[in-house]
Chain A
Amino acid sequence: MTDSDPQQGSLKSARLLVIGLVSVIVVLGLAVIVLAIGRGGQRPSPQVNVLANSRDPCVECHRRATPGIVEQYGHSAMAAANVTCMDCHRAQQDQPGAIKHEGYTILGEPTPGTCERCHPKEVAEFDQSRHSLPAYVAYAGSTGLDSAQLAAYRSIPEGTYQPDLSRNAIFAMEGDSITRFACQTCHAIGKPRVDGSVGDCTKCHLRHEFSLEQARKPETCNACHIGPDHPQFEIYTESPHGIMYHTNGDTWNWDAEAGTLTPRDFPAPTCAICHMSGFGNSATTHDVGDRLTWYLFAPISTRRPSWQDNRTRMQNVCRTCHNEEFVKEFYLRADEATEAVNGLVARSDSIMAPLKARGLLTPQPFDEPIDFTYFDTWHFYGRTAKFGVWMQGPDYTQWHGAYELLHNLSKLRKEVKEKLGEAGARR
């Protein structure tokens, strides 16, 4: 067979072209290799506004109307991944919560039902967590939940813990005009939404940057986990972990790939590392109760369902930095301390028992000083002492916790004695 064969086509003359193209590809490829090797291992700078020259109609209009959110979103990883405004805000005509806006049908406030489209695992984990319906029920009660929500609520560990009994009567007393700026601000993290989904992802993932670093930082948890009833941020700040964070946190790898975090990225833990992050032998979770062994929020703490499994997951995190004996010993002693605080709080019930037995307490909550004294005993001091134990904040275990608890018991005894005296009864 020869080149002149009528049945034979020929590309033989393209030899030089092939060699030329191959050489170009090889040289360009090697150039990229050299350039890439010179990178420092850091993600691209978030200072770049990827929407700076965007012609997207939402961006163009909101650049004038609400430039702040456009600026924020321009620096987000989602915008860099070509997720547009309408990808989250677009709505169907008949979609609950949909509104007409400049000729578009949109969701003014996307819900977890929106986030779920791309992050189903995270939303499912959140739905099963204490941050979900139990947070809402704590102030609003469970009576407003539909049957599906009620079933979901009861499937959550906190939903099985005396539902509604943990509802705080203070909420109703203060009224909506106050609580919308108070209780609701934090507890709405688990509020049912018009589309049937639950909660508010943006409580932790602040819009519109949705920054990994921001969500991972203890300051984000500080928005709610602060103050006399749950001073976790203050305790963390006092703990060795918090000291490490405040000393060197600015050098940590805040943008490290989720699920692969190591002590090289985070030499000491943050709130998220212990409770949520994929760290050590524990996988990432958005169920903040997934690694907890006790209902520490309760007046008398009891073990959570499957607490042994939860303990294993938390200890997996601890063991990344601490040896097994240290971790076992810590858990043994912290369990003992929790029982001890339980014992002190239980005394408040014993002290109050004669008043209850004689019907000397009014049926209305928080209408006399002793109600506040009794409430503070567990709600402030009992909790604080237990949180202080588990998060290694000695001052909060001692002076803000156990000491105040004892002081309050003494105050409670005096108030009970006075009430019994007033009623003509002796304890």
Chain B
Amino acid sequence: MTDDASTGRYHLATLFPALGGLRLPLSRDQAMLLMAATNEIFLGVDIFFAHQISGSIVGAEWIPILFGPIAGILLLGAGALAPRHRDVATLFANAVFVASIVVGLMGAYFHLHYALLPSAPAGERVTVDLLVWAPPLLGPLTFCLVGLIGLSAAWLEDPPDSGVLVLLRGRRLKLPYSKTRAYLFMVGMGSLATVMSSVLDHARTGFHDPRLWLPTAVGVFATVVSVGLGALDRPTRRDLWAYVAAMLLMIAVGLGGAYLHIRVDLGAGGTVVLERFIRGAPFMAPLLFADIGGLGVLALMSPREPQPARTHEGHEEQRKG
């Protein structure tokens, strides 16, 4: 349950009662959608640098680079359209998010295809070494995660935290879990993908630097805690504190990791050699930890939509009926 049974508060307000009366300019779903749009744009930029590692970007490698910013801009446009034409905006956003999932799956397939050696002798076709040195298998799945979060955020949940999504023309879909718990599962999956990517990347260095254990430990902790919190029907304040701590650690690890990666990439005397940033430690990759941590914190916000959002045509009809 998201709202504390005794106080009627949502998770974040349970931990920080002072936030209970605070009116934020964005609802949780709006914040999630904004994060999704921002993520799409940053993914495009990140992949632009990542795909340059081979010295050139060819063919299908351009798809995510172009898709990311276009999707982000379209989503921002949908956000601007939503107050007046929510249905249109929702459909528009859903199309973008479905496309995002498709792009993510295609990317994962291409990366996996690169990692496998189908004509190699048996036993050598799929190895952990190949996964370590292949393009990041889980990297493209970030598009899928953003797509899933976006799809969840785009549809109204009514009543709040019920797991009932209001679809077009007032149709309703009862999901196994509430949106909040679905978000927690997604944050857990995002944490897992992030820590796996981090471990596979860092495995290239043989984990000689003890600092590399920090993102590994924090990522595993965040995965277990997020999934655990999503699975619990009645989490205690301590459970919530553990989750918040995990998310704050993810944010700290992300920011710290980005700083350390940039420091590794800088040449002597702080000189910027672009090639080192492209082919060296990926300077934007650690920010995925911070991104997931941020999404994790947003998941604890109030699930209630602000009143104007209830102008959803189908929902209005439903209420009138």
A residues at B contact (CB < 8 Å) = 1, 3, 5, 7-15, 17-19, 22-23, 25-26, 29-30, 32-33, 35-45, 48-56, 80-82, 117-122, 257-260, 278, 280-284, 316, 319-320
Other-chain contact of A54, B119, B124, B176, B223 (Cβ < 8 Å): B119
A-B contact count (CB 8 A): 175
Contact between B273 and A282, CB atoms less than 8 A apart: yes
Q: List 13 A-B contacts (CB under 8 A).
A: A10-B174, A11-B174, A12-B176, A18-B177, A33-B220, A40-B206, A42-B129, A48-B117, A257-B280, A258-B279, A259-B279, A281-B269, A284-B275
C-alpha spacing A121/B56, complex, angstroms: 7
A155 to chain B, nearest CB (A): 22
C-alpha spacing A15/B230, complex, angstroms: 11
C-alpha spacing A44/B177, complex, angstroms: 43
Contact between B274 and A283, CB atoms less than 8 A apart: yes
B207 contacts the other chain (CB 8 A): yes
0 or 1 for each of B257-292: is its CB under 8 Å from A? (1 = yes): 000000000011101011110111000000000000
Knowing A9-B174, A18-B185, A49-B121 touch, does A260 contact B206 (C-beta < 8 A)?
no
Contact between B163 and A12, CB atoms less than 8 A apart: yes
Knowing A122-B55, A260-B276 touch, does A33 contact B195 (C-beta < 8 A)?
yes
- Measured between beta carbons, the chain B residues less than 8 angstroms from A53 are 118-121
Contact between B280 and A26, CB atoms less than 8 A apart: no
C-alpha spacing A362/B219, complex, angstroms: 82
Contact between B216 and A259, CB atoms less than 8 A apart: no
B164 contacts the other chain (CB 8 A): yes
0 or 1 for each of B97-138: is its CB under 8 Å from A? (1 = yes): 000000000000000011001111100100111111100000
Q: Give the interface centre of A10, A39, A49, A52 by most chain B CB atoms within 10 Å.
A: A39
Q: Main secondary structure on chain A at its contact with chain B? A: loop
C-alpha spacing A130/B119, complex, angstroms: 40
C-alpha spacing A118/B57, complex, angstroms: 8
Contact between B128 and A81, CB atoms less than 8 A apart: no
B208 and chain A: residue at smallest CB distance: A41
Q: Give the interface centre of A12, A13, A42, A259 by most chain B CB atoms within 10 Å.
A: A259
A77 and chain B: residue at smallest CB distance: B133
C-alpha spacing A95/B36, complex, angstroms: 48
B140 to chain A, nearest CB (A): 16
A266 to chain B, nearest CB (A): 15
Knowing A1-B172, A12-B176, A259-B275 touch, does A51 contact B119 (C-beta < 8 A)?
yes
Contact between B119 and A52, CB atoms less than 8 A apart: yes
Selecting from B39-47, B144-152, B196-204, the interface stretch reads B196-204
C-alpha spacing A386/B59, complex, angstroms: 47
Contact between A44 and B174, CB atoms less than 8 A apart: no
Other-chain contact of B216, A33, A35, A44, A117 (Cβ < 8 Å): A33
- Measured between beta carbons, the chain B residues less than 8 angstroms from A32 are 128, 131, 196, 199-200
Contact between B56 and A33, CB atoms less than 8 A apart: no
B122 and chain A: residue at smallest CB distance: A53
Contact between A14 and B129, CB atoms less than 8 A apart: no
B24 contacts the other chain (CB 8 A): no
- Measured between beta carbons, the chain A residues less than 8 angstroms from B204 are 39, 41
Knowing A25-B189, A37-B216, A52-B120 touch, does A82 contact B114 (C-beta < 8 A)?
yes
C-alpha spacing A246/B7, complex, angstroms: 75
- Measured between beta carbons, the chain A residues less than 8 angstroms from B128 are 32, 35-36, 38-39
B60 contacts the other chain (CB 8 A): no
C-alpha spacing A39/B175, complex, angstroms: 41
Q: A39-B132, A80-B117, A281-B271 are in contact. List 9 more A-B contacts (CB 8 A).
A: A3-B174, A8-B171, A22-B185, A29-B192, A39-B206, A40-B206, A41-B207, A117-B58, A119-B56
A245 to chain B, nearest CB (A): 23
Other-chain contact of B199, A33, A52, A320 (Cβ < 8 Å): A33
C-alpha spacing A58/B103, complex, angstroms: 33
Other-chain contact of B279, A50, A260, A281 (Cβ < 8 Å): A260
C-alpha spacing A144/B276, complex, angstroms: 41
B173 contacts the other chain (CB 8 A): yes
C-alpha spacing A19/B188, complex, angstroms: 12
Other-chain contact of A259, B117, B192, B200, B278 (Cβ < 8 Å): B278
C-alpha spacing A80/B220, complex, angstroms: 32
Contact between B185 and A44, CB atoms less than 8 A apart: no
Contact between B130 and A44, CB atoms less than 8 A apart: yes
C-alpha spacing A67/B141, complex, angstroms: 40
A15 and chain B: residue at smallest CB distance: B176
B6 contacts the other chain (CB 8 A): no
B234 to chain A, nearest CB (A): 15
C-alpha spacing A319/B195, complex, angstroms: 36
C-alpha spacing A137/B253, complex, angstroms: 57
- Measured between beta carbons, the chain B residues less than 8 angstroms from A257 are 53, 279-280
Contact between A15 and B185, CB atoms less than 8 A apart: no
Contact between B119 and A55, CB atoms less than 8 A apart: yes
Knowing A33-B216, A280-B268 touch, does A118 contact B276 (C-beta < 8 A)?
no
Other-chain contact of B176, A7, A13, A81 (Cβ < 8 Å): A13
- Measured between beta carbons, the chain A residues less than 8 angstroms from B113 are 82
C-alpha spacing A29/B114, complex, angstroms: 20
List CB contacts (< 8 Å) of B210-269 with chain A. 216, 220, 223-224, 227, 230-231, 267-269
B121 and chain A: residue at smallest CB distance: A52
B170 contacts the other chain (CB 8 A): yes
Contact between A9 and B273, CB atoms less than 8 A apart: no
Contact between B120 and A43, CB atoms less than 8 A apart: no
Contact between A48 and B206, CB atoms less than 8 A apart: no
C-alpha spacing A409/B185, complex, angstroms: 84
- Measured between beta carbons, the chain B residues less than 8 angstroms from A40 are 206
Knowing A40-B206, A81-B114 touch, does A50 contact B131 (C-beta < 8 A)?
no
